[in-house]
Amino acid sequence: MNIMRMEAFLRACATLLLLTTACLIRFNRQTSLIFPSYSRTATFRDLNALYVLVFIDIAAAGYNLIQLVLRGLLSSHLKPNMNGSYKHLAWVSFLFDQAVVYMIFAANSAGLTASLFAVTGEHHLFWMKLCNKFNRFCTQIGGALLCGYAAFFLMAMVSSLTGYGLFRHYSPKNYLVLK
């Protein structure tokens, strides 16, 4: 039970961090003068990578909540022996956890890459830097990405725990045979 409680705790923390990231990015806007006679409002819609990140973070948070509820219900009803539906649930959890961790990491990295272009520009490719015009906006995005990476580390630990919980039920001698 010890390991299941730790997993639930990590999952709950990761959910909060994911929602924080999504809100920080979603409600971030700043209006600023770019050229002397032209002002513009920066929102998360300007970079597709941030738009995708908000959706993936909300989806991952929803998935974590479903897992928390499902495991809370099952832990009171079922003994954790590896037969029938419990085995299937463990495999499905393992595969989904893996997929969700990779999605969060990829979405964060994509957001970071896109944001770095806005910070540094790329004068070879004639892409102007914009963060000197939108200081507060860019700082908030940076904070959101930090939260996102923290959520990724927690989810990576959760996925290792799910793997441990699944694979330790298998025999060390025979290939894919339950003990």
Binding site for its own copies (CB under 8 A): 2-3, 46-49, 82, 98, 102, 105-107, 109-110, 112-114, 116-118, 122, 124-128, 130, 156, 160, 163-164, 166-172, 175, 179
User: What is the residue-wise DSSP string for 98-127?
Assistant: HHHHHHHHHHHHHHHHHHHHHHH-BGGGTB
Nearer to its own copies, 77 or 79 (CB): 79
- Per the CB < 8 A criterion, the answer to whether 117 and 25 are in contact is no
Nearer to its own copies, 34 or 69 (CB): 34
For the bound state, the minimum distance from the C-beta of residue 3 to its own copies, rounded and expressed in Å, comes to: 6
Nearer to its own copies, 143 or 165 (CB): 165
For the bound state, the minimum distance from the C-beta of residue 49 to its own copies, rounded and expressed in Å, comes to: 5
For the bound state, the minimum distance from the C-beta of residue 172 to its own copies, rounded and expressed in Å, comes to: 5
What six digits make up the tokens of 76? 């009171």
Element (H, E) at 156: helix 135-167
H helices of 41-83, in order, are 48-77
Those residues with Cβ within 8 angstroms of residue 109's Cβ, 6 or more apart along the chain or in another chain: none
Nearer to its own copies, 41 or 69 (CB): 41
17-18-23 Cα angle (round to 5): 95
For the bound state, the minimum distance from the C-beta of residue 132 to its own copies, rounded and expressed in Å, comes to: 13
User: For helices 2-26 and 48-77, what crossing angle results, to 10°?
Assistant: 150
For the bound state, the minimum distance from the C-beta of residue 179 to its own copies, rounded and expressed in Å, comes to: 6
Nearer to its own copies, 52 or 65 (CB): 52
